[in-house]
């Protein structure tokens, strides 16, 4: 039986269509820049809403081509719609125009679903890894989940790649030294909310930051999450990218990211977050996973990670 799921984040919307007993049929991510211009708790802007409706209309067409109904497809929305002052109006417009019934989930639930999806494929982990930190760097928030045989926790940080860049970098997302220092301070302040850095055997990184960085490091001109699944992002590589892009504008980074030009704006924030999290938990690499909440929503994995959570 073919299954599908939708995820609407602050910077992109994603569609997964798969046969649980067979191949992945569709794995699409489209940039919507949904949170652009909304501030912390303002309204989603008309241009952003229009982009979202266009993308979701396209996704609805894909589902119908596979014999699926948008109204019956699990569809979740995260940070941007959690914070938007015009959330109810946007959800109604999405339902009217596309058929999707978006469910806005809180940060702790978002963290748990993403971790359940990521941990549904343990083949990418070291054989002796039992304590795993799953990191989801989104545009509006960053979710951390610690999964161990003895239990774990979930934590949602109110900081993401888009919010960092909009707050700390000036026009055209210019990566200045002052902006870099401001991003680092903001990330350290956010991580200080998690009382103690966990002892972990491996870090798994999901979402656009991880796949964009892996695509660039491999010199790929097409973004293909399938070939990136299981790739290690080493601290030395991330440091080299930081050095390469320090001083760059968003326009310059777009030229340097042929597979992901629309992610050139927020990538300084995501790169800063990932480096800081690896340093915080004492790891020298993160493992890229293509799997996320959409996989859990379509039946992968056995359940949500145990929760001693705080949000």
| pLDDT score of 301 | 67
Per-residue model confidence as pLDDT tens digits over 241-263 = 999 999 999 999 999 999 889 88
Sequence spans of domains, the chain: 3-104, 110-297
Query: Going by DSSP bridges, is the β-strand pair 132-137/202-206 parallel, antiparallel, or unpaired?
Result: parallel
Domains 3-104 and 110-297 agree in fold: yes
pLDDT at 226: 81
- DSSP3 helix / strand / coil % (the chain, rounded to 5): 45, 20, 40
Q: 15 near 166, Cβ under 8 Å?
A: no
Which class does domain 3-104 fall in? alpha beta
110-297 adopts what CATH topology?
Nucleotidyltransferase; domain 5 (3.30.420)
pTM of the model: 0.88
- pLDDT category, 306, cuts 50, 70, 90? low
Share of the chain above pLDDT 70, in %: 96
pLDDT of 70-102, one tens digit each?
999 999 999 899 999 999 999 999 999 999 999
Q: What is the pLDDT of residue 49?
A: 97
pLDDT tens, residue by residue, 138-196: 888 899 999 988 888 888 898 999 889 989 997 778 999 999 999 999 999 999 988 67
């Amino acid at each position: 039986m073919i299954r599908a799921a939708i995820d609407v984040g602050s910077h992109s919307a994603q569609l997964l269509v798969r046969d649980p007993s067979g191949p992945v049929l569709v794995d699409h991510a489209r940039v919507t820049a949904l949170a652009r211009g909304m501030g912390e708790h303002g309204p989603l802007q008309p241009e952003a809403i229009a982009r979202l409706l266009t993308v979701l209309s396209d996704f609805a067409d894909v589902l119908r081509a596979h014999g699926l109904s948008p109204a019956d497809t699990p569809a979740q929305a995260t940070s941007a719609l959690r914070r938007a002052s015009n959330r109810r109006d946007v959800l109604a417009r999405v339902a009217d125009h596309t058929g999707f019934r978006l469910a806005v989930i809180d940060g702790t639930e978002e963290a748990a679903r993403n971790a359940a999806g990521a941990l549904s494929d343990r083949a990418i982990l070291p054989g002796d890894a039992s304590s795993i930190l799953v990191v989801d760097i989104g545009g509006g928030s960053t979710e951390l989940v610690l999964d161990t045989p003895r239990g774990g926790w979930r934590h949602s940080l109110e900081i993401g790649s888009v919010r960092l860049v909009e707050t700390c970098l000036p026009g055209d997302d210019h990566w200045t030294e002052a902006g870099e220092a401001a991003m680092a301070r903001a990330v350290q302040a956010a991580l200080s909310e998690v009382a103690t850095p966990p002892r972990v055997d491996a870090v798994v990184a999901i979402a656009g930051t991880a796949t964009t960085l892996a695509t660039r490091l491999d010199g790929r001109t097409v973004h293909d999450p399938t070939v990136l699944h299981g790739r290690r992002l080493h601290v030395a590589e991330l440091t080299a990218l930081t050095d390469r892009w320090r001083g760059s504008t968003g326009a310059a980074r777009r030229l340097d990211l042929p597979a992901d030009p629309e992610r050139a704006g927020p990538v300084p924030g995501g790169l800063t977050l990932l480096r800081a999290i690896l340093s915080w938990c004492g790891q020298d690499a993160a493992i890229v996973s293509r799997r996320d909440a959409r996989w859990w929503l379509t039946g992968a994995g056995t359940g949500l990670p145990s929760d001693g959570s705080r949000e």
